């Protein structure tokens, strides 16, 4: 670090204003080089008797400190080295907490991870009320525990239950909620932050204001064993034992509260060291970097400027259309929502309201903000009000002719520069665009349901889609808070294409006599968030059948649904939407497996035992093999995009890093051997992709 990151301004009242502004960086992060600067600053505070207090603020527009420099974790080669790194950070913050003069943290923007740990070591914390201000410790999302004292200072400040919740979920709090739980001492408007921080600093120096005492009540101390036991049970149920950081965090917090801060931090550092070099953490860190890289890389020529989307048109007010409209309104965009009837529009607007009301109940949205978002959506049953839209997204039923008709209508109703996007999940975009007037402005924007929760957006480009349209769609997707991958057009694109053989194999196992719950449980144990048959119920068995036809028409036997699925659909089973699928439903809630379905299958009611490992092997390797086919065919631009797409769109276990990182872990040679064994037993659909065979021959990894 050549230029200085910590800038100082001294006032006549004895307050030193310290502004952290890393030169040449968009965000402030904590690194070893910055630690040296902090040590110099603390020496100044200790050695200057005329200084009475200090205020620490950020020089970045909407970022206090985003956390530690994660790149430094990758350079760590041993648990001892990582533990030493943690101890070094703890010692610096211990020194900050014990410094002669009070330090006030003036927080605006993201205050996360090591940034929050630094703020916790300050005597007082004031946060701006701006929505961009958020506070949290997301280390568990990287397979780690907070390593600079966070597992010890946080529960002592906000209480055991709240502290554990923040550490184990990794969620960030807005300033008002942080004030309620005691994480910050004051919340003020952004414009008043600097003045309020200086006033608090002087009040602390004069003794007119006291730092917040520990919030760990006698009640929580008495119930500590019960609280910890409940947290462990919940963590095991949620993680399935795949994420060791959660259980280690509970142990470190629990043990630390029974000893001194110093001893507790030693326990924290040891846990941090072990976890930092674990396979799980390495995979999660790699996944994190992948999500950062795709923000800068959407496959368009350098210098391509994205168009700004101020007004969005959405065609179709069903579940997906309403979800897209809600996400756009949340992002501050004006939305014109069209459907063919007032009844359909009413249902769509009700779905939108439910999304916002859920946030209102959680306290992350005010009633005023809810009203503002709803006011941004204008419903219509006519093709009017789209002329000024910069982007129109079609979210009608998965039917080629219907989508072509929608494109024709919207081309006539929009300007020449409007980008048209189809939310198709399987129909090639080129087929939808065939014969249209402006093919360069047509692409796919494949959202995932529910839109407000699923973090992936898959943008599908044809050979005729121009770079400007791609950049515009990608920028809008990032504005909605999505991880955006750009893939080449083709049946099923990437995500639907790799999901199809996975779901087909689940259905084949039922045909062969497996129980519904055994198939789902096996994949839950592997690390997927839901079982494949539960997923098919959620997506809709009828939707799956339509997708299956498209996939079979293009890929033949390799992606062919078993014949019995047609019988399941003919029996009126559509899944959750009509309360009849692989599972029983009562008032919308999923119940037990519907064993009457077995009568529709060749094996009838008789069920056979299948080992979980066999079920996992067949489904997972079907998905892995198709991912390799997608990369080989150029549907994917890189293994990185394939990993991000599968994890954030399909629920592929994050702790494995994605299909291609998992293949690297297994080794291509081993993967080919498994696939050839499966092909010999179950058929050509398991024949390994040529790219996998080549990787096995050369020994080259996907992530070299």
DSSP-H helix ranges across 207-223:
218-222
Domain boundary among 226, 256, 277: 277
* Percent of the chain clearing pLDDT 90 (strictly above): 85
Same-domain check for residues 440 and 517 = no
Q: In 3-state terms, what secondary structure has residue 101?
A: coil
Same-domain check for residues 346 and 246 = no
Same-domain check for residues 11 and 99 = yes
Give pLDDT tens digits for 521-541. Answer: 999 999 999 999 999 999 899
Confidence tier at 3 by pLDDT (50, 70, 90): confident
Same-domain check for residues 198 and 326 = no
Same-domain check for residues 443 and 591 = no
Query: Whole-angstrom Cα distance, residue 45 to residue 575?
Result: 65
Yes or no: say if 386 and 380 are a contact pair by the CB < 8 Å rule.
no
- For the cut 80, the answer to whether the pLDDT of residue 620 exceeds it is yes
* pLDDT number for residue 611: 96
Residue 301 belongs to a domain: no
Provide mean pLDDT across the span 480-508. 96
Query: Whole-angstrom Cα distance, residue 400 to residue 430?
Result: 11
- For the cut 70, the answer to whether the pLDDT of residue 2 exceeds it is no
Give pLDDT tens digits for 209-241. Answer: 988 777 777 788 888 999 999 999 999 988 888
Same-domain check for residues 526 and 612 = yes
Active site residues: 458
Residue 435 belongs to a domain: yes
Say how many domains are in the chain: 3
Same-domain check for residues 230 and 332 = no
Yes or no: say if 266 and 84 are a contact pair by the CB < 8 Å rule.
no
Geometric angle at alpha carbon 472, from 467 and 477, rounded to 5°: 125
Provide mean pLDDT across the span 445-464. 95
- For the cut 90, the answer to whether the pLDDT of residue 104 exceeds it is yes
Work out the burial of residue 352: count CB atoms within 10 Å of its CB; fewer than 13 is exposed, 13-18 middle, 19 or more buried: buried
Same-domain check for residues 272 and 364 = no
* pLDDT number for residue 366: 87
Same-domain check for residues 573 and 609 = yes
Residue 657 belongs to a domain: yes
Q: pTM for the whole thing?
A: 0.91
The CATH number linked to 372 is: 3.40.50.720
Provide mean pLDDT across the span 94-114. 96
Query: Whole-angstrom Cα distance, residue 314 to residue 316?
Result: 6
- For the cut 70, the answer to whether the pLDDT of residue 1 exceeds it is no
Residue 298 belongs to a domain: no
- For the cut 50, the answer to whether the pLDDT of residue 639 exceeds it is yes
CA 157 to chain centre: 28
Residue 104 belongs to a domain: yes
Yes or no: say if 222 and 136 are a contact pair by the CB < 8 Å rule.
no
Give pLDDT tens digits for 155-169. Answer: 999 999 999 999 999
The CATH number linked to 564 is: 1.10.1040.50
Nearest to 377 by CA among 321, 414, 325, 342: 325
Same-domain check for residues 531 and 621 = yes
Domain boundary among 488, 523, 549: 488
Give pLDDT tens digits for 8-50. Answer: 999 999 999 999 999 988 999 998 889 999 999 999 999 999 9
Tell me how crowded residue 524 is: count the other CB atoms within 10 A of its CB: 17
Burial 151-181 (b: 16+ CB within 10 A, else e): bbbbbbbbbbebbbebbbebebbbbebbbeb
Residues in CB range of 670: below 8 A, 6 or more apart? none
The CATH number linked to 206 is: 3.90.226.10
Residue 305 belongs to a domain: no
Same-domain check for residues 172 and 152 = yes
Give pLDDT tens digits for 381-407. Answer: 998 899 999 999 999 998 999 999 999
C-alpha neighbours within 13 Å on the C-beta side of residue 518: 17
Q: In 3-state terms, what secondary structure has residue 590?
A: strand
Same-domain check for residues 50 and 107 = yes
Domain boundary among 488, 505, 523: 488
Q: Regarding beta strands 134-136 and 173-174, do their DSSP bridges make them parallel or antiparallel, or are they unpaired?
A: antiparallel
Residue 611 belongs to a domain: yes
Confidence tier at 362 by pLDDT (50, 70, 90): confident
Q: Which domain holds residue 527?
A: 496-634+637-698
CA 179 to chain centre: 26
Residue 591 belongs to a domain: yes
């Amino acid at each position: 670090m050549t230029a200085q990151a910590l800038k100082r301004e001294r006032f006549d009242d004895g307050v030193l204003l310290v502004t952290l502004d890393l030169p040449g960086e968009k965000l402030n992060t904590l690194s070893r080089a910055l630690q040296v600067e902090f040590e110099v600053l603390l020496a100044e505070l200790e050695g200057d008797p005329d200084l009475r207090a200090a205020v620490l603020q950020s020089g970045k527009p909407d970022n206090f400190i985003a956390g530690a420099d994660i790149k430094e974790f990758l350079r760590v080669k041993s648990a001892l080295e990582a533990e030493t790194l943690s101890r070094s950070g703890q010692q610096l913050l211990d020194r900050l907490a014990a410094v002669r003069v009070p330090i006030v943290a003036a927080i605006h923007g993201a205050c996360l991870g090591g940034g929050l740990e630094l703020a916790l070591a300050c005597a007082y914390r004031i946060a701006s009320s701006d929505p961009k201000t958020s506070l949290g410790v997301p280390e568990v999302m990287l397979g780690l525990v907070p390593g600079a004292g966070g597992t010890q200072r946080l529960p002592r400040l906000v209480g055991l239950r709240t502290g554990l919740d923040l550490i184990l979920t990794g969620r960030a709090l807005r300033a008002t909620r942080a004030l309620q739980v005691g994480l910050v001492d004051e919340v003020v408007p952004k414009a008043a932050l600097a003045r309020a921080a200086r006033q608090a600093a002087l009040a602390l120096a004069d003794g007119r204001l006291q730092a917040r005492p520990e919030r760990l009540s006698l009640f929580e101390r008495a119930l500590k064993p019960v609280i910890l036991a409940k947290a462990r049970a919940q963590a095991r149920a949620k993680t399935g034992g795949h994420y060791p950081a959660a259980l280690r965090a509970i142990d470190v917090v629990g043990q630390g509260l029974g000893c001194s801060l110093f001893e507790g931090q030693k326990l924290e550092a040891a846990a941090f060291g072990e976890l930092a070099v674990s396979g799980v953490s390495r995979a999660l860190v790699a996944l994190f970097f992948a999500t950062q890289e795709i923000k800068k890389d959407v496959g368009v020529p350098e210098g391509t400027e994205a168009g700004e989307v101020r007004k969005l048109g959405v065609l179709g007010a069903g579940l997906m259309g309403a979800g897209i409209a809600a996400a756009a309104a949340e992002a501050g965009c004006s939305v014109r929502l069209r459907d063919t009837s007032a009844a359909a529009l009413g249902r769509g607007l009700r779905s939108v309201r439910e999304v916002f009301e859920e946030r209102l109940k959680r306290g992350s949205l005010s009633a005023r903000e809810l009203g503002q978002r709803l006011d941004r959506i204008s419903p219509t049953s006519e093709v009017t009000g789209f002329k000024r839209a910069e982007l129109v997204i079609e979210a009608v039923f998965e039917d080629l002719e219907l989508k072509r008709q929608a494109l024709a209508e919207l081309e006539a109703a929009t300007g020449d520069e409007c980008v048209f996007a189809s939310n198709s999940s399987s129909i090639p975009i080129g087929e939808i665009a065939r014969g249209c007037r402006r093919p360069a402005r047509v692409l796919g924007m494949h959202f995932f349901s529910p839109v407000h929760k699923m973090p992936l957006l898959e943008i599908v480009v044809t050979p005729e889609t121009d770079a400007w349209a791609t950049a515009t769609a990608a920028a809008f997707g990032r504005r909605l808070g999505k991880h955006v991958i750009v893939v080449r057009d083709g049946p099923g694109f990437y995500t639907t294409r790799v999901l199809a053989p996975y779901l087909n194999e689940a259905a084949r196992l039922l045909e062969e006599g497996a129980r519904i719950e055994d198939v789902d449980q096996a994949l839950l144990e592997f690390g997927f968030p839901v079982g494949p048959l539960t997923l098919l119920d959620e997506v809709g068995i009828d939707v799956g059948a339509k997708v299956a036809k498209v996939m079979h028409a293009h890929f033949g036997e390799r992606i062919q649904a078993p014949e019995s699925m047609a019988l399941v659909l003919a029996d009126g089973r559509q899944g959750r939407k009509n309360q009849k699928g692989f599972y029983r439903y009562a008032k919308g809630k999923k119940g037990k497996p519907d064993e009457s379905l077995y009568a529709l299958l060749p094996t009838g009611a008789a069920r056979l035992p299948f080992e979980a490992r066999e079920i996992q092997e067949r489904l997972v390797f079907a998905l892995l093999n198709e991912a390799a086919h997608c990369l080989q065919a150029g549907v994917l631009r890189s293994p990185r995009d394939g990993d991000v797409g599968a994890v954030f769109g399909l629920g592929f276990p994050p702790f494995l890093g994605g299909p291609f990182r998992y293949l690297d872990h297994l080794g291509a040679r081993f993967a080919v051997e498994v696939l050839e064994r499966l092909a010999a037993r179950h058929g050509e659909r398991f024949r390994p992709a040529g790219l996998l065979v080549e990787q096995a021959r050369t020994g080259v990894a996907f992530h070299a």
